Amino acid sequence: MHEARLCLSLIRLAEEVLAREGGRSILRVELEVGELSGVAPEALAAAFPICAHGTPAQGAALNWRAAPGRGLMLRALEVE
Amino acid sequence: MCGTCGCGSSEEHAADASHRAGEVTSRRIEVEQSLLAENDLGAERLRKRLEAQGVEAIGLTGGPGAGKTTLLEATFRRLGEAVQAEAVIEGDCAGDLDARRIAACGARVTQVATGGLCHLDAHLVGHALERLELDGVSRLWIENVGNLVCPAPFPCGESRRALLISTPEGDDKPAKYPALVAAVDLLVITKTDLLPHLEFDTRRCIAEARRVKPGLPALLVSARSGEGMDAWLEWVGTGGL
């Protein structure tokens, strides 16, 4: 249930990066999800389109890869 | 499920996204930033603020009915007059049943009714602290919402966290819920007075927990019989086993 809130953090962070680096929109978001993070990437992905609506991340693809440990990281953005 | 195409995996639609990205001038930006940083930072700020006030915060986590509030009641009974230096933030989805139990013990308490939210976080605890007078308090207990999953990635300003697993829940819980095991500093197996009636292998439970977090201290405690309460109080009072 906490994934929606994390998703909002993700979009806020992505927007900050976009503003800093310059670009119109976000095409892809790449995450790294720790196996011991307690975060379900499927739930994040389900929340993503709703949280991204009306932001530069609207319509962006969300990719994730599993990693050891407890982290939840925004690895990279693909922007235009 | 994948939010882009509903495929359920990240690889299946990776090609689709590349295709779309290929149509325009796109570039990749390496970010490498934690999404948990906001709460982590808030929790660290809380912990330092409490420390400056001479208050140590201990987190209690575990499933609903693991015995978190009951262990607190037993702890406070053992403390006698010193209970006045104890304060509790009670997290539950609804109601103030636990806060009433704690108040009856003589400790200061405030209840956070999360309204369905599955865990406490630094933000909620920060606001709960606005309602709690900490003058003369040396220990703050943060009893999380009963949940074996969601509290894991959200520290709340605790300097230590304990995970309670009660014997009726089964000895397989650490194997099934490793994220929370990885996020705590102590495993407490509660309701040990029920062991004669259950097939609960304490050694298996502890071994599974240590597979996730090597060296994790573990205690066997019954709030009802008093078994293990001395060792528990020692952990509480001395800062570690």
If one counts the domains in chain B, the total is: 1
Cβ <8 Å between B35 and A13: yes
- CATH number at A34 reads 3.30.2320.50
Q: Considering only CA atoms, which of B4, B12, B29 is closest in space to residue A25?
A: B29
Q: Is residue B22 part of a domain?
A: no
| pLDDT at B1 exceeding the cut of 50 | no
Burial class of B95 by CB neighbour count within 10 A (0 to 12, 13 to 18, 19+): exposed
- Asked, for residue B91, whether it belongs to a domain, the answer is yes
| For chain B, percent of residues with pLDDT exceeding 70 | 88
B5 belongs to a structural domain? no
| B18 confidence band (pLDDT: 50, 70, 90) | very low
Q: Tell me: pLDDT of B11 over 80.
A: no
Which tokens in the block code for residue B176? 């099934």
- Range of the structural domain that residue B139 is part of: 55-238
What is the structure's pLDDT at B114?
Answer: 83
List of residues 6+ apart from A17 with CB closer than 8 A = A74, A77, B29, B31
Rounded CA separation B103/B194 (Å)? 27
Give residue B20's pLDDT band: very low, low, confident or very high (50, 70, 90).
Answer: low
Which chain B residues are Cβ-neighbours of A64 within 8 angstroms? Answer: 10
Domain assignment present for residue B21? The answer is: no
pLDDT for B153: 93
* Contact yes or no for B187/B155 (Cβ under 8 A): no
Residue B12 has pLDDT above 90, yes or no: no
The mean predicted confidence, pLDDT, of chain A is 94
Q: Residues 6 or more apart from B149 whose CB is under 8 A from it?
A: A38, B118, B177, B179, B180
Question: Given this model, what pLDDT does residue A4 score?
Answer: 85
A26/B contact by beta carbon, under 8 A: no
Share the mean pLDDT of chain B: 90
Residue B96 pLDDT greater than 80, yes or no: yes
Tell me what ipTM this predicted complex has.
Answer: 0.93
Identify the domain containing residue A31 by its residue range: 3-79
Residues A33-61 pLDDT 10s? 999 998 999 999 999 999 999 999 999 99
Answer yes or no: is pLDDT of B13 > 60: no
Closest-approach residue (CA) in chain A for B4: A61
In a domain, B40, yes or no: no
pLDDT tens for B30-74 read 999 999 998 999 999 999 999 999 999 999 999 999 999 999 999
For B79-91, the DSSP string reads HGGGGGGEEEEEE
How many independent structural domains does chain A possess?
A: 1
CA–CA separation, A29 and B13 (whole Å) = 12
List the CATH number of the domain containing B170.
Answer: 3.40.50.300
Q: Which residue of A has its CA nearest to B212?
A: A36
- CB within 8 Å: B30 and A76: yes
On whether the pTM is more than 0.90, the answer is: no
CB-nearest to B1 from A1, A46, A73 is: A46
B179-207: string of b/e by CB count within 10 Å (b at 16+)?
bbbbbbbbbbbbbbeebeeeebeeeebbe
Element (H, E) at A8: helix A3-21
